[in-house]
A and B are shown apart, each in its own frame.
Chain A
Amino acid sequence: MTEPAHQRALIRRYRWLLLAYPRWHRRWHGPDQLTLLLDMAGGGRRLTVRNQLGLVLDGLWCRVRVRGAAIALAAMVSLVAAGTLAAAAGWAAWRLAVAPWPTVEQAMRLAEPVVPRERPDDVNQRNVAFGPWGADADWLLMKVLGSPEVRPGGVYLSYWAVVTDPEAVYAQATEALAAQGWETSLVDGAVVAERDGLRLRVLCAGANLGRYDVIISVHPTPPVLAYRLAWFGAAVGVLLGWLAAAAAIARSRRTAPLRRVAMGLTATVGFIASAPAGALNLIAVAIADSDAGGAPPWAGYTIVLARPAAVVGGGLLVAAWLLTASGRWDGGGPLRVAGAGHHSPVD
């Protein structure tokens, strides 16, 4: 191999290795670092396999390294990204895996073995996994703002003031449902039965002078896949959020102080606005995964005001990112040539 060809091969290999570093680092230091590696090779200190591995690990570490108070900012962005991606992954998996919504007739047929009398006193139906139960007139407003009162959707059959001994009702319901092939359990003081992707819940509620109403709800069983993928989404979110924040923070160090302050303030306000929905999503994933009456992974976006706040907060976080994206590394930054000018060596 001729010397220039050998040199070109070495440059190609080192450029590949330097891809382990983040883009901002390659932009600021890549050409100089490449020259150093070639100088080392020329000086008889060509990189061994171990050195090359070390270089790649240094590059990967450079992608996640954050110093000082900026660690808090990176952690905040990670939290929001985790909550957002958990919700997105959980929502997509839910749509794929969930059973169809039951009709009122189907719900009444399924509940037949446990109903106290033939006709319920009240029937409610809402085909949303977790959402508002307000009047239809408020529906559009609740779509935008979220709702102060959310609960799992489905068909709710209410039988008023018919029970004096809830324990006897639960025992009878458990036996009757098991005989019909339902898998039954007692969760949070209610009988929960599952079969064919549907969940039936029998609850004695609203004690009034020792008498209880019986409420039977039927809705699709929250798919386990949705929570599993939500966990995966949260893990990916933590990683991506941290990487994005680390890159933005590194770039911001080369921007003007005023812009840096603006970036920090915008990101902090964006976090404060986005955090409630993101945190509630993560809580839903952590708790509801094992809770029969649990909320879906995107539950945070259904709570009143959390949804519009998350949209505004997300926009501010993107704006903070863009504030650093146009930062220049040369001709004004700390890496500008401070001396008389550039030299032009003979290569």
Chain B
Amino acid sequence: MQDPTFLVLTVLAGPPLHGYAIMQAIDELVGDTGVVRPGTLYAALDRLTADGLVEVAHADEWADGRVRRYYRLTPQGADALRAEAQRRRSLASIALRRLSTIPGYAPGPA
């Protein structure tokens, strides 16, 4: 699972969010702005909805045809996020364990 997909699933683990709110939540999570572009976000949402990991909870509609969809995780999406989070946590612990075996290595400021 690529980082943008993982981030989208992560911020959707909660109340339903619309597109801009997803971008804002990711920026807040990562501590930077513009981490996910609109094009990247909709590519991820397209794939995730097609794969059944995310669904539209509800939508606002305007007379001029615009729509604001609120997305949320499906149960399969939650399972996929949990599996990916566990995989990443396992990889991170392996990385930290291996770092501690380097002779004379002292961690610098994070």
Residues in chain A within 8 A of chain B (CB atoms)? 11, 25, 28-29, 31-40, 43, 45, 51, 54-55, 57-59, 61-62, 65, 67, 253-254, 334-345, 347
| Contact pick for A343, options B20, B33, B59, B66, CB 8 Å | B59
Say yes or no: A36 contacts B19, CB within 8 Å: yes
Chain A residue nearest in CB terms to B46: A29
Contact string against A for B residues 30-44, beta-carbon threshold 8 Å, 1 for contact and 0 otherwise? 000100011111110
A23 to B64, CA, bound (A): 19
B11-61 interface (Cβ within 8 A of A): 16, 18-20, 23-24, 33, 37-43, 45-47, 49-50, 52, 55-61
- Among A35, A55, A335, A341, point to the contact of B19 (Cβ < 8 A): A35
List 3 tightest A-B contacts by C-beta distance, closest first: A58-B39, A36-B19, A39-B20
Q: How far is the CB of B87 from chain A (nearest CB, A)?
A: 20
Cβ-defined contact, A334 with B43, below 8 A: no
Listed by A's residue number, 14 A-B pairs whose Cβ atoms lie within 8 Å are A25-B42, A29-B42, A32-B68, A33-B19, A34-B66, A37-B38, A38-B66, A59-B39, A335-B49, A339-B16, A339-B56, A341-B58, A343-B60, A347-B64
- Is B67's CB within 8 Å of the partner chain A? yes
With a cutoff of 8 Å between Cβ atoms, the chain A residues found around residue B69 in the complex are 32, 335, 337
- Taken together as a complex, chains A and B put the C-alpha atoms of A33 and B18 apart, in Å, by 10
Tally inter-chain residue pairs, CB-CB below 8 A.
108
**CB-defined contacts of A61 to chain B, threshold 8 Å:** 39
- Contact yes or no, A31 B20, CB < 8 A: no
**A55, B50: Cβ atoms under 8 Å?**
no
**Contact for A337 among B23, B42, B52, B59, CB less than 8 A:** B59
A345 to B61, alpha carbons, bound, how many Å? 7
B62 interface residue per 8 A CB criterion: yes
User: Which of A45, A67, A335 counts the most chain B CB atoms within 10 A?
Assistant: A335
Minimum CB–CB distance from B56 to chain A (whole Å) comes to: 5
Q: Which residues of A contact B63 (CB under 8 A)?
A: 347
Contact with A along B83-105 (1 / 0, CB 8 A): 00000000000000000000000
List of A residues within 8 angstroms of B38 by Cβ: 33, 36-37, 40, 55, 58
Chain B residue contacts of A36, Cβ below 8 A: 18-20, 23, 38, 41
Which of A11, A40, A51 lies in contact with B64, CB distance below 8 A? A11
Alpha-carbon distance between A234 and B43 when the two chains are bound, in angstroms: 30
Interface residues of chain B, those whose CB is within 8 Å of chain A, are 16, 18-20, 23-24, 33, 37-43, 45-47, 49-50, 52, 55-70, 72
Least CB distance from A149 to B in Å reads 50
Q: Which of A29, A65, A67, A342 contacts B58 (CB 8 A)?
A: A342
Q: Which residues of A contact B55 (CB under 8 A)?
A: 334, 336, 338
Q: How far is the CA of A38 from the CA of B65 in the complex (A)?
A: 14
Closest A residue to B27 using CB positions: A45
Give CA–CA (A57, B37) in the complex, Å.
11
Q: How far apart are the CA atoms of A59 and B39 in the complex, in Å?
A: 7
Which of A55, A65, A339 is close to B57, meaning CB atoms less than 8 Å apart? A339
Chain B residues, CB < 8 A from A59 = 39
* Min C-beta distance of A34 to chain B, whole Å: 6
List of B residues within 8 angstroms of A344 by Cβ? 60-61
Beta-carbon nearest neighbor of B37 in chain A: A54
Q: Are A342 and B37 in contact (CB under 8 A)?
A: no
Q: Which residue of B16, B18, B45, B70 is within 8 Å of A29 (Cβ)?
A: B45
Residues of chain B lying within 8 A (CB to CB) of residue A43: 20, 24
Sample of 7 further A-B pairs with CB below 8 A, known A55-B37, A55-B38:
A32-B19, A32-B68, A36-B18, A54-B39, A334-B50, A335-B56, A344-B60
